[in-house]
Amino acid sequence: MRFTYCPHCGNKLIRKEIGDEGMIPYCADCEVPLWDLFTTCIIAAVVNKENEIALLRQNYVSATSYVCVAGVMKPGESAEDTVIREVKEEIGLDVEALEYIKSYPYEKKEMLMLGFKAVVEKSEFMISGEVDSVEWVSYEHALEKLREGSIAWQLVKAVITDAKGEG
């Protein structure tokens, strides 16, 4: 989100040089800089001990490619708690182990995606209404089901590379 008006008083912002940050939207009345905001989200490569990953079909996200579990962090929620909640909500599985992988800026949607590997016990999925389908896919075939270069593809590639000991 990019501010044009002050969210505190409603006045139109000016541009003011703030240290080494450069020209920043600034409210002269409230004397407060207003940096651009982004939404913080998680994305999780949900894996089991058989070297398989849970890949989802969510037609509202992509009609042609699979995706990983993802979701928006709620106020007061840690990134780790968000992963645990989203995995349970979207595919009905309990996370047994969690490992932070990397952050991925998603400028198109003004998001910061925090990437995790989430280990679960392989079992039947209980999918939510926002998931059209989900399947276990071997590491060997996972990347071909994701859109090359996408954040999900980058995350899954990192998880697979680490599992092979190449990282």
Q: Give the C-alpha separation, 152 to 117, whole Å.
A: 11
**What pLDDT, on a 0 to 100 scale, did the predictor assign at position 166?**
66
**What pLDDT, on a 0 to 100 scale, did the predictor assign at position 84?**
98
Contact (CB, 8 A) for 34 and 8: no
Q: Give the C-alpha separation, 43 to 112, whole Å.
A: 10
**What pLDDT, on a 0 to 100 scale, did the predictor assign at position 61?**
80
- Count helices and strands in the chain by DSSP H and E runs: 3, 9
Is pLDDT of 164 > 90? Answer: no
pTM: 0.87
Contacting residues for 76 by C-beta, under 8 A, at least 6 apart: none
Q: Is 91 left (phi over 0), alpha (psi -120 to 50) or beta?
A: alpha
The overall average pLDDT reported for the chain is 94
Measured from the Cβ of residue 70, the count of other Cβ atoms closer than 10 Å reads 24
